[in-house]
Amino acid sequence: MQVINIDLDHDKPYEIYHIGDIHSGIIPSDEEKATKAFNILRNKSRALFCGMGDYCEYREPGHPYYDAEQADKTIDEQLDWVFHQFSKVRSKTLGILIGNHEHKLMTQTTINTIKRYCQDNEVNYFGDMAHVSFNFPSGTRFTMIVSHGSGAATTLGSKINKITRFARGQQVDAVVWGHVHELMTWPLASLNIGPRQYKPNFMSRYTMCGFSGSFLRTYMLNSTTYGQQRHYDPTPVGYLVSIIDPGKRMVQMRPEIMDV
For the segment 119-138, what is each residue's pLDDT rounded down to a tens digit? 999 999 999 999 999 999 99
Residue 80: pLDDT over 90: yes
CB 194 within 8 A of CB 154: no
What are the distances in angstroms from CA 36 to CA 40, 52, 154, 180, 242? 6, 17, 28, 22, 18
CB 260 within 8 A of CB 183: no
- At 186-213, the pLDDT tens digits run 999 887 776 666 666 777 788 999 999 9
pLDDT for the residue 260:
65
CA dihedral 33, 73, 106, 153 (to 10 degrees): 50
CB 20 within 8 A of CB 53: yes
Query: Which residue range(s) make up the domain with 219?
Result: 2-257
List 257's β-bridge partners, or say none.
Answer: 238
Q: Rounded distance, CA 95 to CA 77, Å?
A: 23
pLDDT for the residue 120:
97
What does DSSP assign to residue 191?
E
CATH of the domain at 51: 3.60.21.10
Please tell me the total count of domains within the chain.
1
- At 166-175, the pLDDT tens digits run 998 899 999 9
Q: Which band of pLDDT confidence, cut at 50, 70 and 90, is reported for residue 151? A: confident
Q: Which residues contact 250 (CB under 8 A, 6 or more apart)?
A: 173, 187, 206, 208
CB 182 within 8 A of CB 156: yes
- At 104-116, the pLDDT tens digits run 989 988 999 999 9
Strand pairing class (141-147; 129-135):
antiparallel
What does DSSP assign to residue 131?
E
Residue 71: pLDDT over 70: yes
**Nearest CA-CA partner of 66 in 108, 9, 14, 10:** 108
Q: Which residues contact 238 (CB under 8 A, 6 or more apart)?
A: 33, 37, 183, 213, 215, 255, 256, 257, 258, 259
Q: Which residue has the higher pLDDT, 199 or 38?
A: 38
CB 244 within 8 A of CB 17: no
